[in-house]
Amino acid sequence: MSSQGLPTLVFDLRERRAERRCALLLLTLAALAPALVIRNLGLMIALVAGLIAIAVIGTGFWFAGWLGGRRALVRLVWRPDGSWCLIQADGREFEGQLQPASRMSPAAIWLRWALHEPPSPIPDAPRPGGMPARTLLLLPQDLPRADFRRLLVRLRLDQSECAPTAAQANS
């Protein structure tokens, strides 16, 4: 979707903490859940199941860029033509299109992109560092209040790109 006539929006993402907090909360729940469910089978089985759950879920969060050193996304640029530019801390830029799997509500914004990797000067050469995370969770505390509201309003204007959450759709 395009936002013809609307200005380019630039967001500084260095201060975001929602993803890490969400990931740590879910990892804690994953560690505790086997102990509650497998209580009758024994402590050792519950411990092993909890460790396996932490490893699997933690790896997923690491690949998503929510945990660890892969949190390199520092800036977003939303252009009037509807394209996005994701800028990493090392200065690399990736072009992308917002996916319909993105969601929004007044309490949180979940963005998901299909990224287009820049062409390599050497065909079939490995790319150091890889592409940035394709998803981003933002809470009102992660951006200045005016920027969060500006993003939410623009997403509402481009509703064909970003669906409201179920709670917002029912009201």
pLDDT number for residue 56: 92
pTM for the predicted model, two decimal places: 0.70
Burial-class residue 34 by CB neighbours within 10 Å (0-12, 13-18, 19+). Answer: buried
pLDDT number for residue 164: 52
Query: Which residue's entry shows tokens 């799997």?
Result: 101
HEC per residue, 88-140 = ECCCCEEEEEECCCCEECCCCEEEEEEEECCCCCCCCCCCCCCCCCCEEEECH
pLDDT number for residue 1: 46
pLDDT in tens, 76-120: 999 988 889 988 877 888 888 888 888 888 899 988 888 876 555
β-strand pairing of 93-98 with 103-104: unpaired
pLDDT in tens, 31-84: 888 777 776 667 788 888 888 989 999 988 887 778 876 556 788 999 988 889
